[in-house]
A = this chain, B = another copy of it.
């Protein structure tokens, strides 16, 4: 079973059961965004968690297997058009160089890893309208001369 058929089956089961990513994630024991990225075919999880996930959704073994395969990460749009996703691109365009300079003043020459990385989403209540908080958390990787 390839990843795209796997995604289709998971989405169908999720909708018919009325689950949210958050419900499934807390059952499997990972964060919602990570769980969603696995189910959308952008990441893998270890076989044990894959079994829990498949069982919770009432899906068969080949979904379990597909969930633990290592996918190539491919996206089609050079710049995403969806407004919610585009805003990340806009933030990188407007604040990217500023973030680079502030991070490197604090940590030295290097980057924030996107591999040894996690991302959490929180709701911040606000009388003027609630706010979305997205917390990126990646290991600092220093450049080193060789």
Q: How many residues of A contact B (CB 8 A)?
A: 89
Bitwise, A61-89 to B at CB < 8 A (1) or not (0) is 00000000010111101111111111111
Q: Is A36 in contact with B101, judged by CB distance below 8 angstroms?
A: yes
Closest chain B residue to A72, Cβ basis: B82
A79 to B92, CA, bound (A): 10
Q: Is A87 in contact with B49, judged by CB distance below 8 angstroms?
A: no
A-B complex: 9 closest residue pairs judged by Cβ atoms: A118-B146, A36-B98, A112-B132, A85-B96, A87-B114, A88-B92, A70-B109, A84-B111, A134-B136
Q: Is A57 an interface residue (CB 8 A)?
A: no
Q: Is A107 an interface residue (CB 8 A)?
A: yes
